[in-house]
Every structure is written in structure tokens, then in C-alpha cells.
Structure 1
């Protein structure tokens, strides 16, 4: 059965929205680095049969771009979700998902700084508006917090995670013609899990958070490892191929919407006015910056 690309893109953002809520829900049952490590172990086991033969054929392409693949594994696999799960110990899933929406803006900034790409007037206005929205979210709408720089450390950790994802996305964009998608994804999963292994061992030996092997914890690991990683990834890629990257990127704005709905329903999180105003500013900034004329 063939699904419309719009449906696949919305499905992917729905599943990614659930990832933020799951990470927050099991914060007290499993340490964050361990959760990230188990996520990618599950994802590798599931994805290996799907991409193994393709990876063997395309290995020479990965080998020729080895430094980029390592950095992609570090930023997109090892760092991004790990930092998100750490940040979710200190902030809400709504805040985390709202700041994740600023990813395109950070990509524009990095492209301007490192690749010397010129920003259009829409990108400049959109960037300013989105960054204002991010500041509004992490400050809780308090001018006093902005003046005293007393931000929630969980928000700042998630913001750094978004920076890592922006670096990863930029590399994916730069090496799109040189690196095959599925094979590179499989290799970066394996490398990212290996990078996380020593930190996971250290965390398990030193943390005060013991793993609670309950049905909910196991389901959470399976969700983030299979649903949020493999199913969402395949749905997103299929939709992007059909509609194009520019049109598809707008759909990322559904992530905070779904996260907020799930968080209010399942975690009893309160949707604050500062989150609504900041979220609208972030999303409007992204929409404006994607305008061509």
C-alpha cells in the first residue's frame, strides 16, 4: 500500500514528537546516556537486515568520506539524543520540542559563518524572530531571567543538542551527493553506539538512577529504538524524496505541536503562555526564512 508523502511526513513528526515525551516519562527509570545507548543498539539490530547488503556495495563511498561520517556519528547519533535525554531530566518535553524547531535557523547561521552562504532578508528576519522565541521559552517570558542569565540548565542542554543536530544536518546536506543515505545511517548508528559505550558503562557505575526494568521502560526503549528511529526515518526520507527537502522541512513544525499534545495528555504538563508565544515566534521565524520572494 502506497501512502501519500504528506501523510508520511506528518507520521514522522508525530513519532518524533512522542520521542520527547517518552524521554521525559522514563527520566526517573533509566539514566539518559544508557537510554540513548540502548536506543541505538535496538535501532542497529532492526536496521542491519534492511541495509546490510546495500552497505557492502556502497562501502567504498563511506570509506572515501570517513572523517565526515565520524563527525555525523558524533553529532547526530552520539550527542543529539543523549543531550536531549539529559536535558529532559531538568526541563519539560514541551520546552525541548519547541527549541528543536529552531534547527533550520541554526543551520542558516552555521551556513553563513562556515560556508559563507549569503542570507536573504527573509532568513535574517526569520532568524531574529526564531531566536527571540527561543530566548522567550528558556527565560519563561521573564525579563529578569534574561538580565540575570538564570536559565533552566535543561533548556541550555537541549539547545546545545539542537546545535549538534544542526551540524549533523549541515553535513548531510553537504555530502548528499557523496554519501548513500541508508548505508551511512547504518554506519553512523554503529559508530555512535560505540562512542556512547564507555560513557554508558561509567554512568551505570556512578549514577544514583538505577534502571527499572518495568514493561513501560522496555516499551520506551523499543519505541525510541524502532518507532522513533527506524519507522520515522524511513517515513521521513520517503516523503522528502517525493516532495523535496524545502517543502518537507515545513512539516518539522508539527513536532512541538504533537509533543505538547502528548505531554499535556500523558504527563500532565502545563502549557504555559511563554511557551505558546515563544513557540509561535520560533515557527513563524522558520516559515518566514523559507520564503523565496
Structure 2
């Protein structure tokens, strides 16, 4: 019996991608709770060690395909992912998850800046407008709530830079690798980096509680193994722009969790600042979305004419 090659329905694709944003948004909440008892690098070490073990089970029959090239490329991408997750936990530990979630979304604007600096790509007026909105939003965050732009906010912004680096690294480094094996190597690389970082800090005096261990379990299973698998399986059926629009929901979930679960409250100017940063990420993606739709519509309109000309020839 032949394996079906039909793509899933658009409704199913977007449902799954939105579900991944819910799990990623939940990681802000569970990480914040876990960090009450577990030092940030240790939290990352435990999370990705467990994720690596889970991927070993998933990839058991694929291990024979693991070659030096996959190891090297997976470790390279894993290094960027390690910097992302280490900065993520330190950022969440130093600020509210509401602010961290919004600031992490700045990766959308860091991508064109990095490609401009490294590959001399054109930034474009739309991205420049987004960057301007983001600067205004950060200024409002720094001045509107009385706490200023604190260390956690700064690290969360650095985390957005590393998220952009990881996305670019994936697109530039990975080839036709087995995505499951690459994910396993990535997770193992992050666990190693976090383990080394943990050795430089004092160990906690007491064992983590059951609640803290459950936060590690959640973060290892859902926003790590589960989301990576779903993303690899379903994102290929939509354009990067459409996927990016869906992923802007991440800070929405972190804001909701911070408000209703942790009781986080933002001053009016902080809400305005978060809104500007959110729009800074959403605006360029929305413009690209309508630009893509226009190109598709033009192609659909021109296709019958081209086919008619080919028939005449």
C-alpha cells in the first residue's frame, strides 16, 4: 500500500502551528515557576538532557544514519540554540514573563539586521519602520513602569538576537539532514553547554520539589520535543511569512499567563510599549503577507495566458 503524499488541510496546519505557539508561550510560565528553585543553567541542563533522552528513544532506529556531517551541522545549530535558551532563562529570571515574551519577539527584526551586516542584504523601508516602532516600544517599557529597562529586559532582547541567529543558522547550515537526528544532536549540544555553565555556579542546597520537576518535564516534552517535531512536520506547508504571523502569538500567551496565573500587572505606558513592540514584529510580516498574496494572484491570472501561448506554439 502506497503512503499518502497529500498535504494536510490548511485548517489542520494552522491549528497545529497555533498549538505550538501555545506550548511555547506556556514555557515562559513554567520556566518562571521552575526557576524559583532551580538555577537557570541547571534548568536548561535538566530540560535538554531529558529532551535528548526522549529523542534517543524516537531516533533509535535512525542512529545508524548518524554520520560526522550530521553531528557537525547539528552541533553548530545546537550551539546557537544553546545561546538562545541560556539567555532565555536568565532573561525570564530577571523580568516578568509579560515583558520577556514581547521582547523575545524582536527576533523578527534582528533577522534582516544580521543578514544586512553579514551578507549585505537590503533591510528595506518596511523593516526600518518596524525597527523604529520597536525602539519606541522599548523606550516606553524603560520609562513607563517605574522599573526601567532592567537587566532581565536586556537579556531577553539579547535572547531575541540569538533566536534570529538560530533561525539563520538553521537555514544556512542544515542540508538534507534527518530532522529527528539533527534535533537530537541539537538538544545534546544545549545540554552539554548548560552543564558546563552549571559547573561555574554554586549548586542548590536542596533537591527541587515535585512542582519544579514538573516544570522541567513540561518544558522538555511540549515546547522542546513536541513542538520541534510538529514544526518540522507542518511548517513546510506554509510560507515563512505566514508561519511568522502565527508565531507572533507567543507573547500573547505569555502575557495571558503572566496576568492570570502570576498576577503580573503592567502600567499603561508599559502596555503601550508592549503593543508597539508587538506591532513592530507584526507590521513587516503583514506587509510581506499581502505582498505574497499579490504575487500569487498575479501568477494565477497570468498562468492561463501563458498556457494559451504555449499551446499556440
- What's the TM-score once normalised by structure 1's chain length? 0.86
* Residue 60 to residue 202, structure 1, CA distance change in 2 (3 Å): closer
Q: Distance in 2 between matches of 1:284 and 1:176?
A: 31
The residue that corresponds to 1:46 in the other structure is 54
Measure the CA separation in 1 of the matches of 2:280 and 2:176. 31
| Pick aligned residue for 1:75 from 73, 80, 86 | 80
Is the 1:70–1:191 Cα contact (8 Å) retained in structure 2? Answer: yes
The residue aligned with 2:167 is 169
| Aligned equivalents of 1:211, 1:170: Cα separation in 2 | 40
Q: CA deviation at 1:239?
A: 2.8
Paired residues of 1:30 and 1:210 also in contact (CA < 8 A) = no
Please show how residues 1-293 of structure 1 align to structure 2 within 5 Å.
Answer: 4-57=12-65, 59-62=67-70, 66=72, 69-76=74-81, 78-137=82-141, 139-141=142-144, 151-203=149-201, 206=202, 209-290=204-285, 291-292=287-288, 293=291
Q: Which runs of 4+ in 1 moved over 6 A?
A: none
Structure having the higher Rg: 2
CA offsets, 1:176-226, max 9 Å, x none?
4354432221111112212222222332xx25x545422211110101111
Query: Any conservation in 1 of the 2:106–2:161 contact (CA below 8 Å)?
Result: no
Residue 24 of structure 1 contacts residue 88 of structure 1 at CA under 8 Å; is this kept in 2?
yes
TM normalised by structure 2 equals 0.81
| 1:53-101 C-alpha deviation (Å, 9 max, x unpaired) | 33532525425xx2x543422221x222222212222210111101011
Q: Contact conserved, 1:31 with 1:211, CA < 8 A, in 2?
A: no
For residues 4 and 262 of structure 1, what CA distance do their matches in structure 2 show? 25
Partners in 2 of 1:271 and 1:55 — Cα distance? 49
Gaps (5+ residues) in structure 1? none
Instruction: Count how many residue pairs are aligned between Structure 1 and Structure 2.
Output: 279
Q: Aligned equivalents of 1:187 and 1:238: distance in 2? A: 18
Question: Hey, what's the Cα distance between the residues in 2 that align with 1:210 and 1:97?
Answer: 30
Deviation of 1:271 (Å)? 3.3
